[in-house]
Amino acid sequence: MIGRLKGILVSRQPPWLVIDVGGVGYELEAPMSTVFDLPETGREVTLFTHYAAKEDTVALYGFLREQERALFRTLQKVSGIGAKTALAVLSGTSTDEFARLVQTGDIAALTRIPGIGKKTAERIVVELRDRVDGIVLAMPSASGGAVPKDPLAEASVALQQLGYKPVEVARLVKEAAEPGDTAESIIRKALKAALR
C-alpha cells in the first residue's frame, strides 16, 4: 500500500495531479482543498495517499492533510458513498465544517454538496454523528503538531482523550466556551458541567 508520497509536483489539472518521485510519475486524484493549497509546479510536495484497488481499476488519491484522508476513508463506509462523492465532500467543505454539519444534523447544508441527496445526507448524519468529530479533531495536523492550536479544538481533543464521546464533547464545549477562553478554562468548565 502507498501511504505517503514526497516528490516534485509536475502537473496540476484539477482534480488530477502528477508527482515525480525518483523519476516515477504518480498520477493522483485530489480534492479541491488540496489542489488549491499546493505550491506551483516544480516545487516539492508531500501528500498523504489512499490506494484503492478494485476488480478492474487501481486509483491513488492524494491529500495535504491527514484529517482529509481519514474523513475520505470514513465517508466511504457510509452506504451509497464512493470515492467520487467523498472527494466532492472534501472539495465542498472543510473537515471541521463537515463535522459541524454532521453534529448539528444540518441536512439542508449537506445536500448542497454535489452528489449528496436528502437520503444520503440523512445516512451520513446517522452513521457518522458519533465518529466524525473524533476523526477530525484527533488527527495530527499536516504541520506535525499533535493538537490544534484553537482553544475549542484543543479542549475537544483533551475531553475525548478523557473518554467522553464526540457528541458529549461537542455539547460540553459549546456550553462552556466563552470568547477569549483558553483551552484549560474550557476544559475545567466542561468537566464541572459534566459532573452536575
- Could you give the residue ranges of the DSSP H alpha helices within the chain? 32-37, 66-75, 83-92, 95-104, 107-111, 118-128, 132-138, 151-161, 166-176, 183-195
For the chain, the structural domain boundaries read 4-63, 67-134, 147-195
Max mean pLDDT among 23-37, 106-120, 177-191 falls in 23-37
- Which of these, 189, 110, 112, lies nearest to 155 by C-alpha position? 189
CATH code linked to domain 147-195? 1.10.8.10
What pLDDT, on a 0 to 100 scale, did the predictor assign at position 18? 96
Per-residue pLDDT band at 136 (split at 50, 70, 90):
low
* pLDDT tens profile 42-56: 999 999 999 998 888
* pLDDT tens profile 7-66: 999 998 888 999 999 999 999 999 988 988 899 999 999 999 999 988 888 999 999 999
Classify domain 67-134 at the CATH superfamily level: 5' to 3' exonuclease, C-terminal subdomain (1.10.150.20)
- Which of these, 102, 135, 104, lies nearest to 121 by C-alpha position? 102
Class of domain 4-63: mainly beta
Q: Which residue has the higher pLDDT, 185 or 44?
A: 44
pLDDT at 101 over 90: no
Q: Is the pTM of this model over 0.85?
A: no
